[in-house]
Amino acid sequence: MILCDIGNTNFHFFIDDKEQMYSLDSTLPSLDGKVYYISVNEKATTKLKLFYKETIDLEPYINFDTSYSGMGLDRKMACLGVENAIIVDAGSAITVDIIKKGKHKGGFILPGLSSLKKVYPQISQKLSFAFNTKVNLDKIPLCTQDAISYGIIQSIIEPIKKISKKQEVIFTGGDGEFLSTFIKNSNYKRDLIFNNMRGIIDANNCIT
């Protein structure tokens, strides 16, 4: 089964239980079989449909109830079937969604980790430092490299902690594993979106 999650920056393929990423402007891989996809990017969707013989859009099969207007399909897919949790998809943007008693309560959007890293040198060359992944958040920084690294991590982690309170936080997305290390009651589910896509396909025999 070939799955594809089309984001803002990359095609994320899931083939034989492994993720393969291709940037939106790169050449797509030759593949045999149906490509099941969800997409938040129309232009990339057109590219996918032109390149592969059989593509199946899973959007019509996503049954997700929310009062949130304009919620991306990937966000909905990540939240499917959750009863009580904060879902954090840490990609080029970081989406944070709150689910309580099976109901989507809303969410917010932070800039992605890589975007935040790029912002500092744009403000001033004096703020151009390598990101220190090992910065200690329990100590107040005493040099600029740590001051920036601390600022980047806390600007992501603290807003999430604020709304999570004691709820479980589930991370997914490229930076999810790293970020999950900063929140105690958290889990990293690398293939959350693909697993939910597979769940939809399995539940709808008609589309297999």
Which residues share a beta bridge with 86?
98, 169
Q: Tell whether residue 203 is a contact of a copy of itself (CB under 8 A).
A: no
Decide if 76 contacts 87 (C-beta within 8 A). Answer: no
Would residue 74 show up in a list of annotated catalytic residues for this protein?
Answer: yes
Residues 6+ away with beta carbon under 8 Å from 110: 93, 94, 96, 155, 156, 159
Decide if 96 contacts 87 (C-beta within 8 A). Answer: yes
Which is nearer to a copy of itself, 6 or 201 (by Cβ)? 6
Q: Tell whether residue 197 is a contact of a copy of itself (CB under 8 A).
A: no
| Contact pattern from residue 103 through residue 142 relative to a copy of itself, giving x for each residue in contact according to CB under 8 A and a dash for the rest | --xxxxxxxx--xx--xx-xxx-xx-----------xxxx
- Would the annotation count 73 as a binding residue? yes
Given 25, 32, 65, 74, the catalytic residue: 74
Q: Tell whether residue 24 is a contact of a copy of itself (CB under 8 A).
A: no
**How many C-alpha atoms does 72 have within 13 Å on its Cβ side?**
22
Residues 6+ away with beta carbon under 8 Å from 20: 12, 13, 14, 29
Q: Tell whether residue 46 is a contact of a copy of itself (CB under 8 A).
A: no
Q: Tell whether residue 151 is a contact of a copy of itself (CB under 8 A).
A: yes
d(CA 145, CA 173): 26
Which one of 26-34, 88-96, 164-172, 175-183 is the stretch in contact with a copy of itself (CB under 8 A)? 88-96
Which is nearer to a copy of itself, 98 or 201 (by Cβ)? 98
Which is nearer to a copy of itself, 18 or 162 (by Cβ)? 162
- Residue 181 is classified by DSSP as T
Tokens of 194: 């693909």
List phi, psi (to 5°) of 125.
Answer: -60, -25
For a copy of itself, the binding residues (CB under 8 A) are 8, 40, 67-70, 72, 92-93, 95-96, 98, 105-112, 115-116, 119-120, 122-124, 126-127, 139-144, 146-148, 150-151, 154-156, 158-159, 161-163
Binding-site positions for K(+) read: 89
Catalytic amino acids? 74
